[in-house]
């Protein structure tokens, strides 16, 4: 028996306060065959995750109001979001990103700006 989820397109939720980046990331990932939803701030993200039920969350760290690292800590605490794979998607220095991944126990990170890396790492994290 086939798992129905494996037969469907994978769903990605991108959370970032940069509207242009959200549109560009959506276009790239939809071009790769994914269903992509976006959310423009940390606040309200838990509700968006609960509604969308994504296979992967790409989360910016530097956002006003509720930063991505604080949001990642919250997601790990809630029953309905603790098993959702989260990847930091940031322009921060890679050393900072590695420390943030370790501190918040997310799956990993993707540096903004490298489109080939975005495509490759999203495929990797969705396996």
Q: Which domain holds residue 83?
A: 50-62+73-113
Number of folded domains that form the chain: 1
Residue 87 belongs to some domain of the structure? yes
What are 102-118's pLDDT values in tens digits? 998 899 999 998 889 99
Residue 36 belongs to some domain of the structure? no
Highest-pLDDT range among 20-34, 40-54, 71-85, 102-116: 20-34
Specify the pTM. Answer: 0.89
CATH number for the domain that contains residue 109: 3.40.50.2300
Instruction: Quote the CA–CA distance of 96 and 15 in Å, as a whole number.
Output: 19
Tokens of 88: 């930091």
**What CA–CA distances, in Å, run from 18 to 5, 61, 91, 120?**
30, 12, 12, 22
């Amino acid at each position: 028996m086939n798992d129905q989820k494996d037969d469907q397109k994978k769903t990605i939720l991108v959370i970032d306060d940069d509207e242009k980046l959200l549109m560009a990331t959506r276009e790239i990932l939809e071009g790769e065959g994914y269903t992509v939803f976006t959310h423009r701030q940390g606040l309200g993200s838990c509700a968006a995750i609960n509604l969308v039920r994504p296979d992967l969350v790409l989360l910016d760290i530097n956002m006003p109001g509720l930063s991505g690292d604080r949001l990642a800590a919250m997601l790990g605490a809630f029953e309905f979001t603790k098993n959702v794979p989260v990847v930091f998607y940031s322009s921060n220095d890679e050393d900072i990103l590695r420390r943030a991944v370790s501190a918040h126990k997310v799956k990993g990170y993707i540096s903004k700006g490298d489109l080939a890396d975005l495509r490759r790492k999203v495929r990797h994290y969705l396996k």
